A and B are shown apart, each in its own frame.
Chain A
């Protein structure tokens, strides 16, 4: 290599990288929204112990949490077009972004369903009994009584999940998505100064993570305002 460490390059790379930050955030938000709704539906069979669906859900969750996210990315990226080709649908022109969002949604759904299962099980059984005793149906009990309390319990874990997902999105560039890391790769190819670009990327990710963390701490305090211990 033999090239000197050029500290200026860090500061010139940061604006170039920031112009692609919106793609990273878009991947994060899309995968979280789709993954959360999917995760809730996957959690339901396991909570209510529906016979066949709960086993399928258990296998799905175990697989998604037990394999590396990068492997899942490649499986989806190469596997889905191959499978669809068997039924003569040609998706070779589809943007890699779609595959990325599919993969991260599936993975987030598995983690989210485990989180929700724990949170829903932690809501006091008495609440459900009281709801039944005043004549609410099962669905009403779930949406009006159990789910809101479960969401408050799950919120800190959800914050961890969001920050973990932010770090997972850094692997999307390996299948060709032009997000922040992808732009970093092109800058490296153009200037052959890898360390400076990676330091710039680390700074950006760190700042985003700090902002997210502060947001979640504030939200947690707001959500738990009603639960403050009594000051004597």
Chain B
């Protein structure tokens, strides 16, 4: 097999056409993951009674297994689950009518959420305790201290990590989307 150099440019132009989809698949789960991550981080910081172990298992599982497996399980399993529910409750639609993009975004949001929750948690914990005490001392309530004092500092501290994770996801997610699409067509 000889390397055909002019083809590199042709391939480059063709691949560039897929850029919007790549960006969608990267940023969509990041926003979804941000929401999930904030919720999970809040649960883990405040040690809510029953939900904290569930959150711990969620983060540990989604960070300890390859992302490709999350995608495959949710991508292939969720439609089965919905079909089962639909036939049980008689909803009258099946999972084929839901566009594939929804499943991709859901699956990748869960993956992203696990990483994001760790980043958000570490950002929040890195703000000095004295800041919060000072905020309470001048009479701010909990919400005000979070919004005005803790959150801006936590955001600035976690920004390098967020960019790092965004970079990781941009690479992983699009490739996994292609693999999952190919796998779905085969079964």
The answer to whether A and B interact is yes
Contact A206 B187 (CB under 8 A): no
Residues of B within 8 A of A194 (CB): 72, 76, 183, 187
Contact B171 A205 (CB under 8 A): no
Contact A82 B73 (CB under 8 A): no
Q: Within the assembled complex, what's the spacing in Å between the Cα atoms of A194 and B60?
A: 23
Residues of A within 8 A of B171 (CB): 67-71
Closest to B69 in A: A202
Closest to B95 in A: A1
Contact B1 A198 (CB under 8 A): no
Interface residues of B in 16-68 (CB under 8 A from A): 60-61, 64-68
Asked whether any CB of chain A lies closer than 8 Å to the CB of B160, the reply is no
B61 to chain A, nearest CB (A): 6
Residues of B within 8 A of A163 (CB): 64
Q: Within the assembled complex, what's the spacing in Å between the Cα atoms of A69 and B175?
A: 10
Contact of B172 among A68, A82, A192 (CB under 8 A): A68
Asked whether any CB of chain B lies closer than 8 Å to the CB of A170, the reply is yes
Contact A209 B65 (CB under 8 A): yes
Residues of A within 8 A of B77 (CB): 5, 195, 198-199
Determine the interface band of chain A, counting residues with CB < 8 A from chain B.
35 or more
Residues of A within 8 A of B68 (CB): 170-171, 181
Asked whether any CB of chain B lies closer than 8 Å to the CB of A96, the reply is no
Asked whether any CB of chain B lies closer than 8 Å to the CB of A210, the reply is yes
Contact of B187 among A192, A201, A213 (CB under 8 A): A192
Contact A198 B187 (CB under 8 A): no
Q: Within the assembled complex, what's the spacing in Å between the Cα atoms of A192 and B69?
A: 16
Known: A5-B80, A68-B172, A213-B64. A202 touches B1 (CB 8 A): no
B78 to chain A, nearest CB (A): 9
Contact A199 B1 (CB under 8 A): no
Residues of B within 8 A of A166 (CB): 66
Contact of A198 among B2, B69, B80, B84 (CB under 8 A): B69
Contact A205 B76 (CB under 8 A): no
Contact B73 A202 (CB under 8 A): yes
Contact A205 B69 (CB under 8 A): yes
Residues of A within 8 A of B175 (CB): 68, 70-71, 171
Known: A68-B171, A205-B64. A85 touches B2 (CB 8 A): yes
Contact A82 B80 (CB under 8 A): no
Contact B69 A170 (CB under 8 A): yes
A211 to chain B, nearest CB (A): 10
Residues of B within 8 A of A29 (CB): none
Q: Within the assembled complex, what's the spacing in Å between the Cα atoms of A24 and B4?
A: 34
Residues of B within 8 A of A192 (CB): 187
14 A–B contact pairs at CB < 8 A? Answer: A1-B187, A5-B80, A68-B171, A69-B171, A71-B175, A79-B3, A82-B1, A85-B1, A170-B68, A170-B69, A201-B69, A202-B61, A202-B65, A210-B60
Given A194-B72, A199-B77, A202-B69, output 10 extra A-B contacts at Cβ < 8 Å.
A5-B84, A68-B171, A69-B171, A78-B1, A170-B69, A171-B68, A174-B179, A189-B186, A194-B183, A202-B73
Give B contacts to A, CB under 8 Å: 1-3, 60-61, 64-70, 72-73, 76-77, 80, 84, 167, 171-172, 175, 179, 183, 186-187
Give A contacts to B, CB under 8 Å: 1, 5, 66-71, 78-79, 81-83, 85, 163, 166-168, 170-171, 174, 181, 188-189, 192, 194-195, 198-199, 201-202, 205-206, 209-210, 213
